[in-house]
Structure formats: structure tokens, C-alpha cells
Chains A and B, each alone.
Chain A
């Protein structure tokens, strides 16, 4: 069996090409039918995300499935237009690629967790369509467990690699749980909206918005069932807040050291986390000197993100090693799978010979005592097992070796197994 991958990803193709090739979920079922009717395709699965379109198929040895033309025809894009962006991978390389993709090592943001889920749903769709048999199933399920192993052993997805998510991670480092915490958003920009969204998802329940223009404040408060605080009442409301995100366009500091000192006193020293993503800054930097106040500005957050990305790269190297080792193991396993029919055939062949010979012997000798029956039975069985032992262990040893195929062929010929 051969395993082949054809596709484009964010490295080989610009978005103009990727969007033409993408399969939306409704188009997936007919596309799978089309793929399966393609010449030479035994099994197939289609993965289509915003960063990649990949088609993985298995084929009998010697067959050359026409996946390129299938892609061109089913997406109605001239082959010449997509050909320069397509890559073709076979067998070991294809498995290596699949494992890397599943482990999120081939992603735009290395270590992002969505890709595994996307592969799983592609697998589910193909399976529901009857396009997945034993061979492809073995490879794909192995890819899932490799991805899981990479994730747990390297912790590659652990640290935040976006500014808004880094803010949430920091809030967790300060407060532990975020459930029941209150957050104030000052100035309703895009970035603060993202951060608020992450916080909302992490269990922050009380969200307050203060903005100079009332309309925008109401719009944003609506997103999180938040409350609106009058811009003039901001200082009075702050002692109740655990997290404050500022991104207003004010040209001067809206929170000075003296203000924050009063706030922390009113909070009886319960810690407060101030996130200032505005440029120019909204909060006086010296505020960070006050006990139990933690102030991070946009540069601090970006430094955290940069450090996390560096950390991910380091872990990605470790992950590549795991993937390489897993590919080796998978190849050995697939090769071992290939010799299984030969071993079974050999055993059946010898058993039939034995039975035929025993029958012939019994015709000559006539009636036998049970002891004699048993002696003949064990003699012939032992003989057959001895003869089979050599070739079978050789087959097992040769499985997975480059020169193995010739030896397997030789054994088949010697024992007259059908070619």
C-alpha cells in the first residue's frame, strides 16, 4: 500500500489560491465521493482549513492516483494555476508531514491547538462516508496520538502568543481563578475588546465599560452583558475592580500614582491588575511601585509574548525529534503489516500439505490406535512448525528493511505462494 498527500498550505500558496481550493463543510461529502471514484484511490480524506487544503489517499502499489486533476476539476480551477503551489508527498515523507501537521508544528502559529480538532473532524467526515479503511485508519489514529504525545511531553501550547491572551494568562498568575472577578474596560478599542472576550471566556463575570462616547460603550457592554460606567464616575468605581484594561485615546495619564494609592487603600490591599495597552500610555508607570498593584503596558505584554514564542520554538525542536521517532516506528509497523499476508499464506500452505499427507498415509495404513493417531499428528505438526520457523522469522526480520521486499518475494516464490 502507498500513502500519498497532495495539497497546499500557507507556506506554498497565498490566500488567493487557498480560498479557491477550500472545501466548505457542505461540499465535503460530494467531494469525498468524487475522490473515491478517482482512478487508483483506495481510501481518502480531505482536510480543508483556512491555512491549508490537503488530500491524503492510499493506493495499491504501482497505482498513481490522479489527485491533482481531481482537485482542479472539483474546485473548477485550471490545473496550471494551482500546480506551482501544490506539493506531493509519498509514504514516509507523507506520514512525517501528517504527524507534523497534527502536532501543530506546520501551523502558522506553532503549537496552536485547533488543527488537531480540524483533522479529527476531517477524519470523522471521511469515515462517515466510508472513505477510510484499515490502512488510512491506522495512520490517522497514530497521528492523533503523536499529536497528543507532543502536546503533553513538550507543553508546546502552554504559553500565550497573543497580547490579549497574554494579559489573561497574567491575570491568572495573579489571581489564580478568575471566576467572580470584576474587570473595567476604559476606552473601547479592538484590542481591549479581544482581551475582554478572553477574560469573559475564562470566567470573569462582572464586566464594566467606560468610554467617552456612550454609543460605543453600550455596543461593547452588549457583547458581554456588561454594565456601563459614566466616564466621570470612573475613579469612584475602580476600587471594586480587580482588573482594569485601559486603551483610551487620552493624551495624558488618566490614572496617576496618587489615585491608585487611594484605590488600593479602599481595596484594603487586595491586589489589582492594571493593563495599559494605550499609546500614549493612560496610566502613570510609577504606579507599579505600589504594593499589590501590578501594571503591565503594551511593551511588557509584547515582551511576554516574544518570550513565549521563543519558548515555543525551543519546544518545537524537541517536538520534531518526537515526531521523527514516531515516524520511524510507524514505518516499521506498516512494513510489518505488509508481510502479514505472506506469513498467513505460508502457514496455510504448509498446513494443507500436512493434512493431505496425513490423509494419504491413513489410506495406506488402515485403522490406527488412538496412540498412533496422536503420534502421527504431533510428528507432522512438529515438522511443519520447524520448517516454517526459519522463513517466518526471516519475514518478520526483513519487514521494514529497504532490501526486504526482494527477500519477501523470494520466500513467496520458494513456497509457491500465489504471486
Chain B
């Protein structure tokens, strides 16, 4: 990849990260406006720089840069960003940002990882980075597990109320729903940070080969599912029974990811 275009892409990714920050803050804090204004300006700038990067690549290669996974990811990210900006400009779909900001950031990050930086300067940094990744994942999983438990309780409680057999000792339905939503948001924040840390680590560790690892693909797919669920919940008002079932599906996928990462894979395929 062209030297300059990689640098532009990195700058764009940094600008997109403000958008991601906005989403994460929204999920935890539920305060939107001021951070959103900063984030959207950064996003505009990011798109311009991202486009510059793609144009430079095109000029250097003489064709559209979609040769490998990394280049396609970057291109795809730009297209998503442009689509979002169009919808935002035309219809004011601000709520789409919850979905688009993290997605575009991760796509730009992946695209940028196609040109790995130099290998580890120090093995201690390497293991510390890995520890950070694992801790983030564990916190995220703990939150996800809590979400799953609340979801099951929610489903039981909902059934009780629907079939008119009340008088249990479970918390009220509204409380369970709030807990579910909170735990889901917090889990998403940590899993997203973990995905970023993990991808960066893998990229430095093994250059560009890591992206073909099925474990990585499973993790990224799980994260994408997580993103979809959070998006549907925050913007489309998917709550209650449907949301509870989706979360349980997500927990299943996460369990597979976990298994793939902790060596259970070799055990299962034997």
C-alpha cells in the first residue's frame, strides 16, 4: 500500500474514533448533544481524509483498491460513511450514528492494519498489551453474562405477567429491562475496546496473516452481531421479549468465540 495513503487512513481512523467515543459515552451516560456535535465534525473531516487516502491508492495502483481484505474493508468503510452522511443530510437520521460510527471506525482500523507497523520493540509491551485485551474481554463477558441472566429472568417474569400468574419474588419487569439494557451497553463498550486492542495486537504480532484466522473471523462476526443488537435496541426500540431472545443468541455466539480462543477448538475438532 502507498505510504501516504496509509498515513491518511490512520488520521481518518483517529478522527472516526471520536465518533466511536461518542457512541460509547452515549451508551453509558445517555447524554448526547454536545459530544455528538464534536463527533460529527470529526466524522466529516475523517471522511474527507479517508477519501483522499482511497484516491491516492487508486492513483498509485491505477485501479480501484479492492485487492485484498484490508483494502476492501477500508473502501467499504468509506462507502458506509458516505451513505450515512447522505441519510443524515437528507433525513436527519442521527440515531443511525450508534450503528455507523463504530462500524466505520473498525473498518478503517482493519484497513489500516493491512500495512503493519514494525514488530514488537519489547516483549514486555507485547504481553502487557495482550493482558489489556484479555481483561477488557473478561469485563465485557461478565457484563454479557449479567445481561443473559437478566434476560432469562425477564422472559420468566414476562410469561408470569402474560399468563396472569403473578406474585413471584422476581423484580419488576421494568427494572429487569433497564438492567438488561444497562448491562448490554456496558458489555458492548468493553467488547469494542477489546476488539480494537485485539486486532492491533494480532496485526503487530503476525502481520497480515491474522485476518484469515477463523478465530478472528468468529470474533469479528460476534462483535458485528453485538453492534446490530445494540443498534436495534437503542434506535428501533427493540425491547422486551424480542431483545431478550436476541441477547441469548448473542451469548451463544460469544460462547463459541470464547471456546475458539481458549483452545476448546482443538478439543472439539479432534
Picked from A159, A269, A271, the residue with its CB within 8 Å of the CB of B174 is: A271
Q: Which of B173-197 contact A (CB under 8 A)?
A: 173-175, 177-178
Specify the chain B residue showing the minimal Cβ separation from A174: B173
Q: Are B174 and A175 closer than 8 Å at their CB atoms?
A: yes
Number of interface residues of B (CB under 8 A): 20
Residues of A contacting B172 in the complex (Cβ-Cβ under 8 angstroms)? 172-176
> Is residue A416 within 8 Å, beta carbon to beta carbon, of the partner chain?
no
- Which one, A124-132, A210-218, A300-308, A377-385, is touching chain B? A300-308
> Is residue A72 within 8 Å, beta carbon to beta carbon, of the partner chain?
no
Q: Which of A159, A267, A294, A308 has the most CB of B within 10 A?
A: A294
Knowing A173-B161, A173-B172, A175-B174 touch, does A270 contact B239 (C-beta < 8 A)? yes
> Is residue A292 within 8 Å, beta carbon to beta carbon, of the partner chain?
yes
Q: Are A176 and B164 closer than 8 Å at their CB atoms?
A: no
A291–B239 CA distance with the chains assembled, in angstroms: 9
Residues of A contacting B237 in the complex (Cβ-Cβ under 8 angstroms)? 267-270
> Is residue A311 within 8 Å, beta carbon to beta carbon, of the partner chain?
yes
Residues of B contacting A347 in the complex (Cβ-Cβ under 8 angstroms)? none
Q: Are B239 and A292 closer than 8 Å at their CB atoms?
A: yes
Residues of B contacting A172 in the complex (Cβ-Cβ under 8 angstroms)? 172
Q: Which of A170, A269, A304, A311 has the most CB of B within 10 A?
A: A269
Residues of B contacting A307 in the complex (Cβ-Cβ under 8 angstroms)? 167
> Is residue A288 within 8 Å, beta carbon to beta carbon, of the partner chain?
yes
Q: Are B164 and A296 closer than 8 Å at their CB atoms?
A: yes
Q: Are B175 and A269 closer than 8 Å at their CB atoms?
A: no
CB of B105 to closest CB in A, whole Å: 27
CB of B93 to closest CB in A, whole Å: 15
Picked from A173, A292, A300, A304, the residue with its CB within 8 Å of the CB of B240 is: A292
> Is residue B215 within 8 Å, beta carbon to beta carbon, of the partner chain?
no
Q: How many residue pairs between the two chains, A and B, have CB atoms under 8 Å in the bound complex?
A: 56
Specify the chain A residue showing the minimal Cβ separation from B163: A288
A304–B171 CA distance with the chains assembled, in angstroms: 18
A390–B216 CA distance with the chains assembled, in angstroms: 87
Number of interface residues of A (CB under 8 A): 25
Q: Are B164 and A271 closer than 8 Å at their CB atoms?
A: no
Q: Which of B37-73 contact A (CB under 8 A)?
A: none
Residues of A contacting B164 in the complex (Cβ-Cβ under 8 angstroms)? 296, 300, 303-304
Q: Are A269 and B240 closer than 8 Å at their CB atoms?
A: yes
Q: Are A176 and B167 closer than 8 Å at their CB atoms?
A: no
Residues of B contacting A288 in the complex (Cβ-Cβ under 8 angstroms)? 162
Q: Are B161 and A269 closer than 8 Å at their CB atoms?
A: no
Specify the chain B residue showing the minimal Cβ separation from A268: B237
Mask: chain B, 130-167; 1 = CB below 8 Å from A; 0 = not: 00000000000000000000000000010001101011
Specify the chain B residue showing the minimal Cβ separation from A288: B162
Q: Are A291 and B241 closer than 8 Å at their CB atoms?
A: yes
Q: Are A291 and B240 closer than 8 Å at their CB atoms?
A: yes
Mask: chain B, 222-259; 1 = CB below 8 Å from A; 0 = not: 00000000000000111111100000000000000000
Picked from A174, A267, A271, A308, the residue with its CB within 8 Å of the CB of B167 is: A308
Picked from B157, B174, B242, the residue with its CB within 8 Å of the CB of A291 is: B242
CB of A343 to closest CB in B, whole Å: 50
Specify the chain A residue showing the minimal Cβ separation from B233: A269
A159–B157 CA distance with the chains assembled, in angstroms: 17
Q: A174-B161, A176-B175, A294-B162 are in contact. List 14 more A-B contacts (CB 8 A).
A: A173-B173, A176-B178, A177-B174, A269-B237, A269-B240, A269-B242, A270-B237, A270-B239, A291-B240, A291-B242, A292-B240, A294-B161, A300-B164, A307-B167
**22 A-B pairs with C-beta separation under 8 A:** A159-B167, A170-B161, A170-B166, A173-B173, A174-B173, A174-B174, A175-B172, A175-B173, A176-B172, A176-B174, A177-B174, A268-B237, A269-B238, A270-B239, A271-B240, A291-B241, A291-B242, A292-B239, A294-B162, A296-B164, A300-B164, A304-B166
